[in-house]
Chains A and B, each alone.
Chain A
């Protein structure tokens, strides 16, 4: 892992206390926006008074536990990165459906089931990696960015579903808030850049108060608020319905893909040499997500997910320290017992939410695009990405028409992220047919042409859209083997086969296999004789290939150089 130079505090670095606290507050402010999803649920369930406040407080507790789980770095749970958690629209559709069918108890029970499904997915990720390549994770991130931007515009302009009109006061608040964030992010350094979103949101609160959009007196319960209060569980209960397993499982799959995309993005932000996701970290994040969703179901809240905006914020500010993730978690756990903060965050003015969402969406969207375009896209991948992206957009454009599908499919067609994700996974699965390709070249004895081998592998690599660095290593491997085996009787046959995740080069010739030593030869051994040089050749081959095998039968040798792609 190479630390990118533009980071101020990288994942393993601990910022000073004041920066840690203010950075955590900034993320808390951004994440608090997503409390809107459990709040929507509470309003739909007609919760009021202290029960409403309990649901908000317990949702904050859920966010606290989730942030700690996501950032943890252990073998079984946690991504090891600053990976924020947030409530998500992914679970909102199935949750509202469950609410209609069986009330809040069914929502909470099925949320626990969704968490279990995600925990079950986690250990399978490595095996499923062929079905979930990084460009699909990039697609998920890009669609999330687009969704966040759309939501940001809606909140920022004060447009609601019933009345398609722009509210001028909202435009003023959102405009000033967004301009503050943008100016600080681009033209300031140090604290201004690091805390641009928090400062922009505070400015937005102030302007909202002046314009009468933010009025705390309206939301404080009649009996007033105590400073410290333990939330009660009066609204919590659990029930289950097998019919609802399918929509919640699909939501879990979408949340899993989003978590994979978000954590891949966090890995990329923290590693200048990032080429492919670390699956240990991804599996840890997905199991953390599952555990956190189960916890939320148990304490009476809705499902949550990794938070692309939080990762976008860490990329924008250059502060990606894991310790901030823990600080956010403990912060939310503490705030859950302080009702005034729950009220203040639950009452965040919509245009302030809109500005923050729109700002971070820019970083989320471009991160997704970068992940997609990091790979050369052949026709197959172009269709997978293009069709799926279009379907995600179509889901929003023709929402009402698509909701005419049978009820079981509604959770898929009713959500742009879920539809885009399912479309990408299914298309990728279908279009993988015939993806493995095999080519060979015969090198005649008597002056084996190494340049021809180089040209052959370079040309094939371009056709396969293979990674350049992997092709360079393969060329080195083949040339190094040719150098050691010399001019075998009958020449050498070089065969290369490739699929998305593997490049294998087989070399067949008559003679002896190349010695692959266990240890590095010393400089003295290399200088002493050509045997030493051959040992170095074998050692370099072992180091440059991800796996190397040699098979000998009847004087013929087949050497296989394997490279992970």
Chain B
């Protein structure tokens, strides 16, 4: 599956955004718009699950950085989780692992963010 899909779920106060497929310049704006909309709407804890993302490009990194920047402005928690092999490698290559709050798993992230564990649909 290559097309981008964006699915939202909730675990307590945490809004979980599950991304899957490929994120590049053709759809990175969709991700950015959705995340900034959630932050602007008052969400205080947002967790982006990247476990089903096949790969991403610089456009996707920019979308995530813009969302992080926006979350800082709105005093919201913004975190990423479940970075798979190639996706994690790209974060490492770009030296971006330290720029984001990254958790190994959704469960670990929810413990940190204060939400209860909820499986992805």
Chain A residues proximal to chain B, CB less than 8 Å: 450-451, 454, 472, 475-476, 479-480, 483-484, 520, 523, 526-527, 530, 532-534, 536-537, 539-540, 543-544
Chain B residues proximal to chain A, CB less than 8 Å: 2, 24-26, 55, 57-59, 61-62, 65-66, 68-69, 86, 90, 93-95, 99
Which residues of the other chain, A, contact B61 by a CB distance below 8 angstroms?
Answer: 526, 533, 536
Query: Contact at B58–A534, with CB atoms within 8 Å?
Result: yes
Query: Contact at A539–B57, with CB atoms within 8 Å?
Result: no
Q: A483-B24, A536-B62 are in contact. Are A451 and B57 (CB under 8 A)?
A: no
Query: Contact at A533–B94, with CB atoms within 8 Å?
Result: no
Give which listed residue, B55, B58, B86, B95, contacts A520 with CB less than 8 A. Answer: B95
Which residues of the other chain, B, contact A543 by a CB distance below 8 angstroms?
Answer: 93-94
B86 closest partner in A (C-beta): A472
Task: Write 27 A-B pairs (CB below 8 A) sorted by A numbering.
Answer: A450-B26, A451-B2, A472-B55, A476-B55, A476-B57, A483-B24, A483-B59, A484-B58, A520-B95, A523-B99, A526-B58, A526-B62, A526-B65, A527-B62, A527-B66, A530-B62, A533-B58, A534-B58, A536-B58, A536-B61, A536-B62, A537-B58, A539-B94, A540-B57, A543-B93, A543-B94, A544-B93
Which residues of the other chain, A, contact B55 by a CB distance below 8 angstroms?
Answer: 472, 475-476, 479
CA distance A530 to B59 in the complex (A): 9
Query: Contact at B95–A537, with CB atoms within 8 Å?
Result: no
CA distance A539 to B58 in the complex (A): 9
B69 closest partner in A (C-beta): A527
20 further A-B pairs in the complex, CB-CB below 8 A; given A450-B26, A476-B90, A480-B58 = A451-B2, A454-B2, A476-B57, A476-B86, A479-B55, A483-B58, A484-B58, A520-B94, A520-B95, A523-B68, A523-B69, A523-B99, A526-B61, A527-B66, A530-B62, A533-B61, A533-B62, A537-B57, A543-B94, A544-B90
Query: Contact at A450–B95, with CB atoms within 8 Å?
Result: no
B26 closest partner in A (C-beta): A450
Which residues of the other chain, B, contact A533 by a CB distance below 8 angstroms?
Answer: 58-59, 61-62
Which residues of the other chain, A, contact B58 by a CB distance below 8 angstroms?
Answer: 480, 483-484, 526, 533-534, 536-537, 540
User: Closest Cβ of chain A: how far from B93's Cβ, in Å?
Assistant: 4
Query: Contact at B93–A532, with CB atoms within 8 Å?
Result: no
A537 closest partner in B (C-beta): B58
Enumerate the 6 nearest inter-chain pairs by beta-carbon distance, A residue then B residue, closest first: A537-B58, A543-B93, A536-B58, A533-B62, A483-B25, A520-B95
Which residues of the other chain, A, contact B93 by a CB distance below 8 angstroms?
Answer: 540, 543-544
Which residues of the other chain, A, contact B95 by a CB distance below 8 angstroms?
Answer: 520
Which residues of the other chain, B, contact A539 by a CB distance below 8 angstroms?
Answer: 94
Q: A450-B24, A451-B2, A540-B94 are in contact. Are A480 and B65 (CB under 8 A)?
A: no
Which residues of the other chain, A, contact B59 by a CB distance below 8 angstroms?
Answer: 483, 533
Q: A483-B58, A527-B62 are in contact. Are A536 and B25 (CB under 8 A)?
A: no
Query: Contact at A532–B62, with CB atoms within 8 Å?
Result: yes
Which residues of the other chain, B, contact A476 by a CB distance below 8 angstroms?
Answer: 55, 57, 86, 90
CA distance A279 to B99 in the complex (A): 35
User: Closest Cβ of chain B: how far from A451's Cβ, in Å?
Assistant: 6
Which residues of the other chain, A, contact B69 by a CB distance below 8 angstroms?
Answer: 523, 527
CA distance A537 to B2 in the complex (A): 21
Q: A451-B2, A543-B94 are in contact. Are A480 and B66 (CB under 8 A)?
A: no
A539 closest partner in B (C-beta): B94
Which residues of the other chain, B, contact A523 by a CB distance below 8 angstroms?
Answer: 65, 68-69, 99
User: Closest Cβ of chain B: how far from A509's Cβ, in Å?
Assistant: 16
Query: Contact at A479–B65, with CB atoms within 8 Å?
Result: no
Which residues of the other chain, B, contact A537 by a CB distance below 8 angstroms?
Answer: 57-58
A538 closest partner in B (C-beta): B58
B62 closest partner in A (C-beta): A533
Which residues of the other chain, B, contact A472 by a CB distance below 8 angstroms?
Answer: 55, 86
Which residues of the other chain, B, contact A454 by a CB distance below 8 angstroms?
Answer: 2
Which residues of the other chain, B, contact A451 by a CB distance below 8 angstroms?
Answer: 2
CA distance A533 to B61 in the complex (A): 8
CA distance A274 to B90 in the complex (A): 19
Which residues of the other chain, B, contact A532 by a CB distance below 8 angstroms?
Answer: 62
CA distance A539 to B91 in the complex (A): 12
CA distance A181 to B73 in the complex (A): 65
Which residues of the other chain, A, contact B25 by a CB distance below 8 angstroms?
Answer: 483
B66 closest partner in A (C-beta): A527
Q: A536-B94, A539-B94 are in contact. Are A479 and B99 (CB under 8 A)?
A: no
Which residues of the other chain, A, contact B62 by a CB distance below 8 angstroms?
Answer: 526-527, 530, 532-533, 536
Which residues of the other chain, A, contact B57 by a CB distance below 8 angstroms?
Answer: 476, 479-480, 483, 537, 540
CA distance A533 to B63 in the complex (A): 10
CA distance A484 to B62 in the complex (A): 13
Which residues of the other chain, B, contact A544 by a CB distance below 8 angstroms?
Answer: 90, 93
A533 closest partner in B (C-beta): B62
Which residues of the other chain, B, contact A483 by a CB distance below 8 angstroms?
Answer: 24-25, 57-59
